[in-house]
Structure 1
């Protein structure tokens, strides 16, 4: 067996394994680079959404809770689905075994259902907000949204469990008929039709219908505003441009939502329909690529649904600049809200911030400067006693009603306990 022949198999020492894709080194580098970038975009983008909505209480609105649920599902897609799918697409081989292939498909089905349900929730939320704004606060409430999100996750898990339980009838992999190193997902006609309707036809119909209604209502509102605010001065030309600009912006935003969803989902389900209901055979490489494109929609969701919001831009600045966990930022917040904090809470937060600074100094002395443990502890203890140098923010006075606790002794005790 020569070298060229060995390189063509997924498992070089097993000539019964599947044939792998052979590409140039430059092509491998380019594919892995762009694939890794898409995975990082999906993970980091959705992680920023999760942190922003979870951390800031003022963002706990019904619509943002739906965005949070969608970001959580898309984050799991980026962690557990996209990396393995990318390796299979680029290499043309599945190196993770038949068992993981099975559960990978189940997890894909679960997260797809959750993401689709959240997309529908967002469409319904925006439809009510635009078409019935006076009753929005009574129709769309936080408890109702929480119940809907929980129900969507539970129903998706239940559906996935049902598929796993009835796998002999509805969901199976024909592992015996394929070579080693290939992950084949075979649906029977019933499950394929159900999956096509639930995961594609129904969501597309609902989203397109609702967004079309939103667009028509927005245009009608703009016409009414234009008729009511008739210009009385010589600025008619400039006033006429305002509705047109707003209309273009609304059309562009809604067009992006619909186009990206259809662009990412239509090819995969079109191939599934062709494979299931026709005699045409489509290459697994093409199907895997379209499946990856469908997952890539998870990376586009934070851009479409979150980056257009001003609050998300402010949250990104706080997170990227680390002000969200900055000690000075934390003390400023305490001082600003000192009237709402009890003495005990203020002191405990104060000691916690000092402890973090103390641990940072210990890490610098041990790992960066390479000092021995005993010497670094000695420096930390003396610096804590001598003016609490490891916690400069303690020079900021606490609220007047707060009695300053023996922070130094508490810091030493906590630091030594953790070390």
Structure 2
């Protein structure tokens, strides 16, 4: 019999009602008057209400936090740097996840049914895949940017230009959109060879996508290879940063020059940015790895993961998009200053885009 594979990234969109076979006779139908309807779970209204409140709060924080990141980097010219353009694009990914994917997934998780039709199921699933893979590639390119900034600073400005970053961003979006989401789901390339299995797993009120062996393997590689590369790059970055810190401490700083002071300040800024973005990558791995691992193991273990646990992994993965702007706010003073300007409506003043969020005298660019 052909094995049905549900890939890690796309398992976000295959949760549908998450029912296991042993549960089938314990629940009513999603659509009571339609033959072939999926089964749905019944929970007390209090629990459903609590779930809606928690998930709605997560969605709201995701939308507001990432919208602030988008506004801040777009508005203030001082923040127009290659690194920040990558962060801006990543914030767009997280914002779209909160706007297009999470609200419908919330209804599916609470109600245990998909009420939005087959076509929108494909669109929603495609966006789901697209956002997760786009996040992986953005973080991978950010790690490359940080590598040159910390490990090869003399060639950074010639290697990581605005044009190069634009290419990074375009590759992240185009690959995720054309090859790995819309280009995969709508042509049904993912379920080739599963023609005898798909009808058995399809029901009205479900949103499930099956993956054959080829696409299951590609899915795993698309996540694992970039993540492994990021880990290696950040390990090298922090190794170099430690050496630089020891060199700075061992020098005799009794006589300072302005150039040396600027160089030290710039190096510290680059290292701090690398540390902050390394935390972003670490949070991404912490949020997404459990879901990826569970999906792969579950595919070979008759899908034994309890529905509640699987839903928890789903929203843990989603919460990564919630954490990113919180990390920026905690570690970046310029982000907090910009947020204060937004709250006090000073961004509506003339020439607000020229406001200095940090001292240019110490560094000519912010990371």
Q: TM-score normalised to the size of structure 1?
A: 0.67
**C-alpha distance in 2, partners of 1:7/1:24?**
13
Instruction: Choose which of 302, 315, 320 in structure 2 pairs with 1:292.
Output: 315
Spell out the pairing of 1:17-36 with structure 2 (5 A cutoff). Answer: 17-36=37-56
Instruction: Choose which of 70, 80, 84 in structure 2 pairs with 1:50.
Output: 70
Aligned position for 2:207: 183
State the secondary structure of the residue aligned to 1:268: helix
Aligned position for 2:11: none
Deviations 1:357-395 (A, max 9, x none): xxxxxxxxxxxxxxxxxxxxxxxxxxxxxxxxxxxxxxx
Correspondence 1:213 to 2:236 = yes
State the secondary structure of the residue aligned to 1:187: coil
Q: Please state how far the C-alpha of 1:13 moved relative to its aligned partner.
A: 4.5
Number of aligned residue pairs: give it.
312
**C-alpha distance in 2, partners of 1:252/1:191?**
34
**C-alpha distance in 1, partners of 2:100/2:307?**
21
Deviations 1:76-127 (A, max 9, x none): 1000001111111122111112221122111112222221111111111111
Aligned position for 2:188: 167
CA contact (8 A) 1:85 1:292 kept: no
Instruction: Choose which of 247, 256, 261 in structure 1 pairs with 2:284.
Output: 261
CA contact (8 A) 2:123 2:182 kept: no
Correspondence 1:91 to 2:111 = yes
Q: 1:278 to 1:23 in 2, by over 3 A?
A: closer
Higher relative contact order (CA 8 A, sep 6+): 2
**C-alpha distance in 2, partners of 1:82/1:315?**
27
Instruction: Choose which of 148, 151, 166 in structure 2 pairs with 1:131.
Output: 151
Deviations 1:174-214 (A, max 9, x none): 3663332222121111111101111x211220221111111
Deviations 1:144-175 (A, max 9, x none): 11122123222222203431454145578936
Q: Please state how far the C-alpha of 1:253 moved relative to its aligned partner.
A: 4.6
CA contact (8 A) 1:89 1:285 kept: no
Unmatched segments (≥5 aa) in structure 1:
232-245, 337-419
CA contact (8 A) 1:10 1:18 kept: yes
Deviations 1:273-295 (A, max 9, x none): 11333445334554343233222
Deviations 1:29-61 (A, max 9, x none): 221111111101111111111111111222111
**C-alpha distance in 2, partners of 1:127/1:285?**
40
Correspondence 1:60 to 2:80 = yes
CA contact (8 A) 1:94 1:182 kept: yes
**C-alpha distance in 1, partners of 2:341/2:352?**
14
Structure with the larger helix share: 1
RMSD: 3.2
**C-alpha distance in 1, partners of 2:275/2:152?**
22
> Structure 1: which 4+ aligned runs deviate by more than 6 Å?
249-252
Instruction: Choose which of 250, 272, 290 in structure 2 pairs with 1:227.
Output: 250
Unmatched segments (≥5 aa) in structure 2:
1-24, 255-268, 356-367
Aligned position for 1:101: 121
CA contact (8 A) 2:58 2:322 kept: yes
**C-alpha distance in 2, partners of 1:312/1:205?**
29
State the secondary structure of the residue aligned to 1:183: coil
Aligned position for 1:116: 136
Instruction: Choose which of 282, 304, 329 in structure 1 pairs with 2:305.
Output: 282
**C-alpha distance in 2, partners of 1:76/1:99?**
19
Q: 1:119 to 1:42 in 2, by over 3 A?
A: same
Q: Please state how far the C-alpha of 1:223 moved relative to its aligned partner.
A: 1.6
